[in-house]
Structure 1
Amino acid sequence: MQTDAQDGAKALAGQVAEEEKGLVSRDVYAAAVNKLVERAQTSTYGGQAAAQVLLSCYNGYDFQANLTDLNNLDRSDFELAITVIRGRRDTCYEPHQVIDNGSEIFLQLREDWIHLHVAERGKVPCRTCDGEGKIDGKQCVRCEGSGQVHPTVLR
């Protein structure tokens, strides 16, 4: 006689086996990465969401997607984002490894969206320099010229 735990484990194993049939291939993954890169190269909220997904799959220590920002993607771009996430898992390749000139493209994405880096998350415009980083041509002391500070610095 099987226990409830054994029945549950057997059901889960069957579900996993079914999901494995729908693995994202490297070609499908690469196509999704290329299309999402195009979106990430735009200065839009959708571009920012696309960049977060790509950079999170590229380097999850430095970049972490804000999942609520996925609402800024239209349905087709959302599906591309999900395909990229699944492709990263299913192929075990980072997104820059599956497209032509991937290293260069992702270094540029990283530079373009550096404010999404985990160290930059949560910063707000500096009130002292109005986010400009300078006052009368001189570097702002409070934000050290970055134009942004952590909210705790505002006190």
Structure 2
Amino acid sequence: MDAKLPPAVNADDACQQSAFIARIRAQEERRLQAQAEGLPALRRLLPIARRDTGQSRVIAHFLLSLYNGNRFKMDLTDLRGLDQELFEDCLAVLRMDNTPQREVHCYFENGGAIWEKMASDWNVTDYRLQRIELQELKGAAR
């Protein structure tokens, strides 16, 4: 009985595999760095979003859009009104959320309730509810 040997790996395949592994490692290092910078930034931003200032409103909208972008839309030009430190914290959270380990609200106990209260407190338009209401109006008009 002849045992089949695996095909020989040529040098080009080995180089491509090595480059692929290096890219994966670099990507994981960036993800870990984003997590290390983003989580403290998120913890700084949440209390600010719960205050009653113009910057707080922007941060609340930002966090809500990360929580559920289909429901809570944000005009990104609003970020221009933030102090530089708050803007940088928003970018750090956005980088972390680019490859999320978990949803932003899940870093906090009762995070879903906190984010929903934030939406209510700031009277942020819930576009999902708006679409449902519009569909109901269209259906009632028929």
User: Is residue 2:57 matched to residue 1:48?
Assistant: yes
Specify which structure has the higher proportion of helix.
Answer: 2
User: Is residue 2:79 matched to residue 1:73?
Assistant: no
Partner of 2:73: 64
Q: Does the 8 Å contact 1:49/1:69 carry over to 2?
A: yes
Partner of 1:93: 102
- Structure with higher Rg: it is 2
Query: 2:89 aligns to what SS in structure 1?
Result: helix
Backbone CA RMSD of aligned residues: 2.8
Cα deviation 1:19-52 (Å, max 9, x = unaligned) = 6532212x54332222111111122221111011
Residues 15 and 44 of structure 1, relative CA distance in 2, 3 Å threshold: farther
User: Is residue 2:110 matched to residue 1:110?
Assistant: no
User: Is residue 2:30 matched to residue 1:22?
Assistant: yes
- Which blocks of at least 5 consecutive residues in structure 1 are unaligned? 1-13, 122-155
If the length of structure 2 is used for normalisation, what is the TM-score?
Answer: 0.62
1:57 to partner: Cα distance: 0.6
Query: 2:72 aligns to what SS in structure 1?
Result: coil
Residues 51 and 17 of structure 1, relative CA distance in 2, 3 Å threshold: same
Q: Displaced runs of 4+ in structure 1, greater than 6 A?
A: 14-17
Q: Give the number of aligned pairs.
A: 107
Higher RCO structure (Cα 8 Å, ≥6 apart): 2
- Which blocks of at least 5 consecutive residues in structure 2 are unaligned? 1-21, 131-142
State the identity as a percent: 28
Aligned equivalents of 2:27, 2:55: Cα separation in 1: 29
Cα deviation 1:49-70 (Å, max 9, x = unaligned) = 1011100110010112211100
Query: 1:65 aligns to what SS in structure 2?
Result: coil
Specify which structure has the higher proportion of strand.
Answer: 1
If the length of structure 1 is used for normalisation, what is the TM-score?
Answer: 0.58
